[in-house]
Amino acid sequence: MAGIGEALIEHGISRDWLRDRDFGRAPVTAEDVTTLQALLDTAQQIVGRYGAVNYAVQQTAAARSARAARGEVAAMREVVAAFCVQCSDKACYDATCVLRPISPLPLRGSAFVNDPLSSK
């Protein structure tokens, strides 16, 4: 049912709790039935805010955006790694490099001593 994931979050209940009762791994108590009814009511309210179709479209668009962002991050990591390897094979020599925070290469111990911006 649409909205059940958000309802679980709102009620502070894990998906495992729901799965345990759904698959019979945990006995369903009277309190569980009350909790499940509250979950369904909340899910209906969530879907009612958007309408079922708009809700599904919104969730799909959010998933697409997240996948695209992960793809962009992976591509940027590859570009930075390629640049860093071309600049220095095994370790970064420049502690002041703007790519240093995201460089996959370890920082060479002498990078601070051989700082290209130092007055030495």
CA distance 68 to 55: 20
Answer yes or no: is pLDDT of 96 > 60: yes
- pTM higher than 0.85: no
Answer yes or no: is pLDDT of 50 > 80: no
Answer yes or no: is pLDDT of 83 > 50: yes
Q: What percent of the chain has pLDDT over 90?
A: 0
Q: What is the DSSP letter of 17?
A: H
Assigned token pair, 55: 């809700």
pLDDT band at 117 (very low <50, low <70, confident <90, very high): low
Q: Give CA separation, 17 vs 8, 9, 119, in Å.
A: 10, 12, 62
Q: What is the torsional sign of CA 19, 21, 24, 25?
A: positive
Check residue 70 and give its pLDDT.
Answer: 83
Strands (E), 5-112: none
Mean pLDDT of 86-112: 80
Beta carbons of 58 and 6 less than 8 angstroms apart: no
Answer yes or no: is pLDDT of 66 > 60: yes
Beta carbons of 5 and 33 less than 8 angstroms apart: no
CA distance 92 to 86: 11
Check residue 55 and give its pLDDT.
Answer: 66
